[in-house]
Structure 1
Amino acid sequence: MERNRQRLMSLGIPALKRELEEMGSRAAVPREVKKRQRVKPKGHIQPTRHSTRLQKAKEQPKESASERFERELGEFVVSEQCPRCGRVLQRGHRRHLQACPGALQERPAAAAARAEPRPRDAAMEDLDAEERQDQHRRLLARMSQLHLEGITELSEIAAKFVVLGSARNHYTVTLTDPSHTCTCPDYRFRRHDCKHISLCLQQLGVFETPHREWKAAVEARMSELVQQLHEAEPPRSKEEEVALKLL
């Protein structure tokens, strides 16, 4: 046996067996299993979740800053009330809107002043519900708050009048063919016969006529004025005025 052991040792068999035993005693390290790559289907894939923000943006397109400013300016000029802070202004709308910071806390006195009815609303108080639905009646009621101060220019193609508005603003109405013009904000944005133009036509007596022949009406009114000037009492001298006062 000793001879056989020495022969095995000379061949290196015991050392080889010991190494094999040591390798077998070591714990086997588990390898990570690679996940199989999923093959994506070709074509458009519908999302499983829908964004509410994107859906609202699609239904209601966001307007640009310039578009919003022009829209607010138009509302401001027509209604004379700032859409941001609520102030009521009759002029300087663009300048105010460019510097307006937004909603402001009003003072009690300002809130009370705003609560008072405007001249335009006061003119509608005498009308009942049925008459308010009639556009012609509403226009006549608003014209009652206006005042025609007189003609400022007359030519073969146009006649200009000055009208005092309900807010004590002066507007120039130009009667021409085929359409009339006015310097008020209502005509500037809506391009229709505003209440100032209607007042001039009414004073000339052609508001309810089909063709509204303003030229003949203006000439007739000027002839009446000239005749009244000729028939008027001549001016008195200072001596005559003093004598009348003493009497």
Structure 2
Amino acid sequence: MAERSDEVKLLGMWASPFSRRIEIALTLKGVPYDFSEQDITNKSPLLLQLNPVHKMIPVLVHNGKPISESLVILEYIDDTWQNNPILPQDPYERAMARFWAKFVDEQICVTAMKVVGKIGEEREAVVEATRDLLMFLEKELVQKDFLGGESFGFVDIVATLVAFWLMRTEEIVGVKVVPVEKFPKIHRWVKNLMEINVIKKCIPPEDEHLSYIRARMEKLKFKAP
């Protein structure tokens, strides 16, 4: 458990992978925190005040000081509460962890999100582009239990976006973006994640989560021109 006794508050949203990754880190560190559920379609004055630049969740407030952007928050948590380290200690390995985390957010996430809004050949092209990017993670998992190596760490926390958001949407979208025959190591990695108590505690309940995703997709279809 964390030894510090500080005031910690997290502004987040229960179904957001970016918010959940902060909960995973805080739970792993044993840091008590207050959670403030935010409506991302009707942003609260508090959220706008604490994150006036991006106006997005998550926002971590530590002793009255706000920190935004999930990757920045994860590093802040690791620097502030040093038990159960998330990032590797070796400088090169730390750099590689940052590289893969940015790859997940800036490449895989951005590309995979386009699957929802596409149909026909356009969807097929986006699915293939997503698979091409996922293959880099597949290769990273050769002879590894986790993306961080032998133990669960920073990149694994970030990549839960793939395991519990992207892969859960497959049933709803009707496309196997991450088929087990093409990505056996990613599927093995997901099974390894599900054996970790912190993950079990911090990922959204599947049925409730899928219902939320379906509702969001219906709204997106309705708004599409």
Q: TM-score, normalised by structure 1?
A: 0.23
**Structure showing the higher helix proportion among its residues:** 2
Indicate the structure (1 or 2) with the bigger Cα radius of gyration. Answer: 1
> Normalised by the size of structure 2, how large is the TM-score?
0.25
